[in-house]
Structure 1
Amino acid sequence: MTYTPVSPFRRTIDAVILKHQARSNTELPPSGVNKWEALRELSAAREAFGLTDRDMTVLQALVSFHQATILGGNDSNLVVHPSNKSICERLNGMPASTMRRHLGRLVHAGVVIRRDSPNGKRYARRFGEEKIVYGFDLTPLAQRFEEFCSAAEQVRAEQEAFRRLREAVSLMRRDLASLSVYGEEMRPDLSIWPQFSDLAALTARTLRRKLDMADLERIEADLSAALVRARNILEPSGSENMSTNESQNEQHYQNSNKDSYDSELHQELVKGAGVDSPALPDQLADTEERAISETGVELDPPEPDIPMPNLPLGLVLRGCREILTYADGSVRHWHEFVRTAEIVRPMMGISPSAWDEAKRHMGPVEASVVLAAMLERIAEIRSPGGYLRSLSAKAASGEFSSGPMVMALMRKEAA
């Protein structure tokens, strides 16, 4: 006759121990449970069961004394009986008092169950075919395996949500810092940009600390509100979709007559040299009408207070279509073209001093045409600011005109 004790040797009994003892009477899984897989799932969800990493280290040493890999199945005897000295040796010399404290936490969490002998010693004894073992029962690892797995999945889902939210907050902080710098350049009249910059800096400092989900959600809400305000100030609204016109442009480029480019280039070079060309007014009018039909942009007469370049706006828009994607609506006038160039300039990494130098030597419109042409080849230009300065120096000595740049881009498209 055998009897399974429920009270530990020389230790008090409480409701938690009785609850775990009652659960141990349930049947083991028929197919058994891999003890290392159970240990891995419990390690992932250890905080949900009130355990620490040190507790799991002691449990791993305890599990290693069970020779079989599968808990349950044909093996119903899951009690191990190592001595305190043997356990401490597998724990690399952990003090026995520390080891006993962690064992007590494992028992209280219901991960293992004490099966103490009458004198509190751990041993195995045979009575014929029957074997009685006193020690630590690993049955809960197999019985509660599904519970461990469910808790581990929940923990992993929470960790993934936390990681993704932290990444989003980090990206939002970076965007807010960049928008504050850009906003100070574009709208220096507003005092909101230092506040945005301070919020980004404080967020970077806060992210160095250990945060919980509620902290990240609060930071995410603050950054989201700040980004909405910044974008409402800086980003254009209602931009015209040029995709249809661009597809029409591509068809026109394939059917264009390359000879017209030569005549337009000849006109640009003649005008750049300060010589009138009375034989080409009809060609210029025809070129501008063709540019209007191909870009879909109807141009108003040029403003008298803005110096005009040697190329019509429609022709420039045909060769420099990339700048239209940054326009606040359609570009119908030269002043709208210049305003769009002002928006694109900091995005290209061109300093305000280099831009002011270009406008001084070329004029604002000519400088904007040069910038639009550079934008078409931005991937090939190592230093846009230095390149613009070199062109400004040529323009100061009268050796530069934007016409050949635009014509070269149009020839490249038509090729």
Structure 2
Amino acid sequence: MPSAQSSGWRALKPTLPAWVEPEIADKKDLFEASHIAARVLRLPSSARFVLDQLVGCYRGELVEGRILVWPSNEFLCERTGIPERSVRYALSRLIEEGVIVSKDSPNGKRFAQRSTQGQIIRAYGFDLSPLLGRLDEFRDRLAAIKEVERERSLAFDELTINRRAAQEALRTLAEVYPEEDIAELTARALELARVTPRRSGAGSADSALDAWKAIKQEAEARYYAASAGNSCRHKDTNKYAPDQSCNNASENVRAEAPKPVANVEDLVRACPDAMEFIGEVRSDRDLIMAVSRQRGMYGVSPSAWEEAGREIGLLGAAATLVYVVQLQARPPKGAQPIKNAGGYFRALVRLIKNGEVDLANEIHRLLRR
């Protein structure tokens, strides 16, 4: 009884999609298919490296109507820099995913046979035709993945907005109405911040989104309840009509606010070295936010910053720290260099509050230097 002769091809799994023999194979399309397949199939790094090298070995000519390449394991190890065991695993993974097909020779080697004219007529190695044949499929799957990623990004954007709004509402409530007991609400926010999934992780934003919305709504409700539905503070000794008390109290609050010591333009011109560290600012609010984020770099503790904000206002505190950093970076002639910027800042704030130092004059003096 005659025995069946093997063709050298390993059979694909029946569940894998069918592919057709290519009429023409562009190397650019092969590289595109390999990169998309690596992302869609979530191939490990070793499989991606090996697949790139297999595509790179293609010479642009079909052999037996197929895209055949025949690099040795030694060649793949040298080009990818990974051990042979990892190369074997990567090839098995690519065959299992239906990206390539193996055509084995009788002796297990990979090589090509040439005619007397030098043309390749037969080859044993790996066939990349399935990779090119599934290019449209990989493109569709990649588009679906990108759509899911877009929706996830939008969900995390909404989560970030609500989280920051809730935290800002809690900070405002604590600053404006310190007598309000929000310890339980703050503890909930801290615990929620600890368990909230990160954008870089694999978690979903939906689980924490509703919780942050609830905290924000509760904080805002507590704020409006404490202010009796008004957006400004009320005075206990109210001698005005009900429709005038709110505006008069607001005027008093504004009248008691510290007078600005300098504007952003003056600080930029007077303290160029300090502003280079602080970064670009366009308004008083930008200056306050930038300095408050970087105050720890100069040894200013949170308590010192809060004290300065209470005593001379946040803008005054920001301008004072910029002034101190400028003196530290470029001391005046004959002056000792500042070794402890945080201590100097706290001492200067108290002198400004007591009227012993006029920061506006000091800043304008720097302008004349």
Unaligned runs of 5+ in 1: 241-302, 314-330, 342-364, 391-415
Match of 2:111 in 1: 123
| 1:85 counterpart letter in structure 2 | E
Deviations 1:357-412 (A, max 9, x none): xxxxxxxx7x236269979x99679898556799xxxxxxxxxxxxxxxxxxxxxx
Match of 2:173 in 1: 183
1:202 aligns with 2:191: yes
Q: CA deviation at 1:125?
A: 1.2
Match of 1:249 in 2: none
Q: Does the aligned pair in 2 maintain the 1:46–1:52 contact within 8 Å? A: no
Of residues 53, 56, 59, the one that matches 1:64 is: 56
Match of 1:41 in 2: 36
Q: Does the aligned pair in 1 maintain the 2:257–2:313 contact within 8 Å? A: no
Of residues 224, 247, 254, the one that matches 1:337 is: 247
Of residues 87, 91, 104, the one that matches 1:99 is: 87
Match of 2:253 in 1: 368
Deviations 1:57-108 (A, max 9, x none): 111122111133xx98x9943110011111111112x211111011101000
Q: CA deviation at 1:159?
A: 2.4
- TM-score (normalised: structure 2): 0.57
Deviations 1:173-197 (A, max 9, x none): 2222221122234445654x33332
Given the superposition, is the C-alpha separation of residues 190 and 17 from structure 1 closer, same or farther in structure 2, using an over 3 Å criterion? same
Distance in structure 1 (CA, Å) of the matches to 2:309 and 2:23: 70
Of residues 23, 28, 31, the one that matches 2:22 is: 28
Given the superposition, is the C-alpha separation of residues 337 and 132 from structure 1 closer, same or farther in structure 2, using an over 3 Å criterion? same
Match of 2:333 in 1: none
The 3-state SS of whatever aligns with 2:13 is helix
Q: Does the aligned pair in 2 maintain the 1:81–1:135 contact within 8 Å? A: yes
Distance in structure 1 (CA, Å) of the matches to 2:46 and 2:130: 19
1:110 aligns with 2:110: no
Backbone CA RMSD of aligned residues = 4.2
| 2:170 counterpart letter in structure 1 | S
Unaligned runs of 5+ in 2: 264-282, 289-307, 317-369
Q: Does the aligned pair in 2 maintain the 1:29–1:142 contact within 8 Å? A: no
Given the superposition, is the C-alpha separation of residues 76 and 232 from structure 1 closer, same or farther in structure 2, using an over 3 Å criterion? farther
Distance in structure 2 (CA, Å) of the matches to 1:45 and 1:178: 40
Given the superposition, is the C-alpha separation of residues 228 and 130 from structure 1 closer, same or farther in structure 2, using an over 3 Å criterion? same
Q: Which shows bigger deviation, 97-106 or 166-175?
A: 166-175
| 1:232 counterpart letter in structure 2 | A
Greater Cα radius of gyration, structure 1 or 2? 1
Report the number of matched residues.
261
Given the superposition, is the C-alpha separation of residues 305 and 115 from structure 1 closer, same or farther in structure 2, using an over 3 Å criterion? closer
Given the superposition, is the C-alpha separation of residues 213 and 43 from structure 1 closer, same or farther in structure 2, using an over 3 Å criterion? same
Q: Does the aligned pair in 2 maintain the 1:176–1:223 contact within 8 Å? A: yes
Given the superposition, is the C-alpha separation of residues 103 and 151 from structure 1 closer, same or farther in structure 2, using an over 3 Å criterion? same
Distance in structure 1 (CA, Å) of the matches to 2:256 and 2:6: 88
Q: CA deviation at 1:118?
A: 2.2
Q: Does the aligned pair in 2 maintain the 1:173–1:223 contact within 8 Å? A: yes
Of residues 78, 82, 86, the one that matches 1:89 is: 78
The 3-state SS of whatever aligns with 1:121 is coil
| 2:59 counterpart letter in structure 1 | Q
Q: CA deviation at 1:165?
A: 2.6
Given the superposition, is the C-alpha separation of residues 75 and 196 from structure 1 closer, same or farther in structure 2, using an over 3 Å criterion? farther
| 1:80 counterpart letter in structure 2 | V
Q: CA deviation at 1:223?
A: 0.8
Of residues 144, 158, 175, the one that matches 2:148 is: 158
Match of 2:129 in 1: 139
Match of 2:44 in 1: 52
Distance in structure 2 (CA, Å) of the matches to 1:98 and 1:172: 46
Deviations 1:303-342 (A, max 9, x none): 995467xxxx9xxxxxxxxxxxxxxxxx822x22256x3x
- TM-score (normalised: structure 1): 0.52
Given the superposition, is the C-alpha separation of residues 238 and 30 from structure 1 closer, same or farther in structure 2, using an over 3 Å criterion? farther
Of residues 13, 18, 27, the one that matches 1:17 is: 13
Mapping for residues 231-270 of structure 1, pairs under 5 Å: 231-234=220-223
Distance in structure 1 (CA, Å) of the matches to 2:130 and 2:313: 75
The 3-state SS of whatever aligns with 1:23 is coil
Q: Does the aligned pair in 1 maintain the 2:189–2:215 contact within 8 Å? A: no
